């Protein structure tokens, strides 16, 4: 029997690990233990129910207003105690969060093997995104099995000298989860029916929360949305606003009171998936949205100076517009007024996977231990 531990702490992690947890739980030769660190407690708990995930161990690492250093220290200690109790053969972490970096490090300190889901993403700029680029590069150095979501991510790892026998291109598990969610929502339409208050001709969805955009970046993003909303009063601009004060302040100051701009609270995964499906296109600095939107046929304007997900840009599903106000406005106008461009971007397809990533990861893991 192989003892596998899957550790997560944030909403993106549980979304991207849900299909893997399900796939491992169906393997007779795997003894699975699921650990939730509590990093995004309020946002994760509803997802556990939606994805039907049973948590075996729940940690309590969060404190009010703690720094990244404090969060990291508490995570390392808590995960170390958990690993001493469970004694897994391999620890699975996902992506580039503080939870993932600390869980992988705690496993390394105890000489437990590490598997990294969504490995190999790179911008090669340690401060963009921050601290995610640092986290994922640290994880790579101590990983035994690298599960890269795309060929580009796999090539990044090989260029850094990792043995190609430990690097596997699997597709991204976020597509597995998106397809599961879409099917579940469709099959339970009455349960998940949502009524939205806006009545514009078309709806443009906006998200923004990245640390590196705090300050001038957010000012520019908001000014761009304001200019677009003024130019296109027949459109609705919907912005689920992150709770961070660095986001709330400029967004409410610059966009509050505009009749066709709807500033709403952060949405759960089900609601946000529905919102993406109803949108015309998306303005975002989120990583996950870049991966999910092409499956739904929604063009993406990426409001970041760099992206570790160039696949969507390369295949024409997304445009990297940065945080320059004029560049954001220019490309949004192109999407609104150029039907040929919109059609090209909305039908580009998703380069991040076909929904079979979790099954592939389980197969590669079993082969590794055999």
Which of 74, 209, 210, 304 is an active site residue? 209
Please state at what angle helix 98-109 crosses helix 132-141, rounded to 10 degrees. 20
DSSP per-residue string spanning 292-322: HGGGGT--EEE-SS--S-HHHHHTTSEEE-T
**Does residue 192 contact residue 34 with C-beta atoms inside 8 Å?**
no
Which of 11, 74, 132, 309 is an active site residue? 132
Which of 27, 80, 144, 242 is an active site residue? 242
Neighbouring residues of 22: CB distance < 8 A, sequence distance ≥ 6: 51, 52, 53, 358
Q: φ and ψ at 244, to 5 degrees? A: -60, 130
Q: Is 57 a catalytic residue?
A: no
Q: Is 155 a catalytic residue?
A: no
Burial 329-362 (b: 16+ CB within 10 A, else e): bebbeebbeeeebbeebbebebbbbebbbbbbbb
**CA–CA dist 21, 1 (Å, integer):** 17
**CA–CA dist 60, 200 (Å, integer):** 43
Q: What is the DSSP letter of 215?
A: T
**CA–CA dist 246, 286 (Å, integer):** 16
Q: Is 124 a catalytic residue?
A: no
Which of 13, 74, 96, 292 is an active site residue? 96
Secondary element (H or E) of residue 29:
none
Q: Is 96 a catalytic residue?
A: yes
Q: Is 209 a catalytic residue?
A: yes
Secondary element (H or E) of residue 46:
helix 41-50
Unique residue bearing structure tokens 């995610």: 132
Which of 57, 211, 227, 324 is an active site residue? 211
Calculate the CA dihedral of residues 211, 212, 216, 218 and round it to 10 degrees: -50
**CA–CA dist 2, 84 (Å, integer):** 16
Which of 13, 116, 118, 146 is an active site residue? 118
Hey, which residues are catalytic here?
Answer: 96, 118, 132, 209, 211, 242
């Amino acid at each position: 029997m192989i003892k596998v531990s899957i550790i997560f702490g944030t909403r993106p992690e549980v979304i991207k690990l849900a299909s893997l947890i399900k796939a491992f739980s169906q393997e007779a030769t795997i003894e699975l233990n699921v650990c939730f660190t509590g990093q995004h407690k309020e946002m994760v708990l509803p997802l556990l129910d939606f994805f039907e995930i049973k948590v075996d161990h729940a940690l309590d690492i969060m404190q009010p207003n703690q720094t990244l250093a404090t969060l990291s220290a508490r995570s390392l200690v808590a995960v170390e105690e958990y690993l001493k109790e469970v004694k897994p053969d391999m620890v699975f972490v996902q992506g580039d969060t503080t939870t993932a970096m600390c869980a992988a490090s705690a496993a390394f300190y105890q000489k437990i093997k590490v598997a990294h889901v969504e490995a190999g993403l790179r911008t090669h700029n340690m401060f963009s995104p921050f601290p995610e680029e640092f986290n994922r590069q640290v994880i790579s150095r101590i990983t035994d099995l690298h599960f890269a979501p795309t060929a580009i991510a796999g090539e990044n790892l090989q260029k850094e000298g990792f043995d190609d026998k430990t690097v596997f291109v699997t597709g991204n598990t976020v597509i597995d989860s998106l397809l599961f969610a879409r099917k579940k929502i469709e099959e339970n339409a009455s349960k998940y029916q949502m009524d939205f208050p806006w009545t514009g001709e078309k709806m443009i969805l906006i998200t923004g929360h990245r640390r590196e955009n705090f300050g001038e970046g957010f000012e520019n993003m908001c000014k761009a949305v304001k200019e677009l909303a003024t130019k296109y009063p027949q459109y609705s601009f919907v912005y689920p606003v992150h709770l961070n004060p660095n986001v709330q302040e400029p967004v409410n100051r610059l966009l509050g009171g505009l009749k066709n701009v709807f500033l709403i609270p952060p949405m759960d995964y089900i609601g946000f998936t529905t919102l993406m499906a109803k949108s015309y296109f998306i303005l975002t600095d989120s990583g996950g949205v870049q991966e999910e939107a092409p499956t739904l046929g929604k063009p993406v304007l990426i409001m970041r100076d760099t992206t570790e997900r160039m696949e969507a840009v390369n295949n024409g599903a997304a445009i990297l517009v940065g945080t320059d106000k004029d560049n954001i406005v220019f490309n949004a106008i192109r999407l609104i007024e150029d039907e040929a461009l919109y059609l090209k971007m909305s039908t580009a397809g998703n380069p991040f996977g076909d929904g079979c990533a979790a099954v592939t990861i389980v197969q590669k893991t079993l082969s590794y231990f055999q």
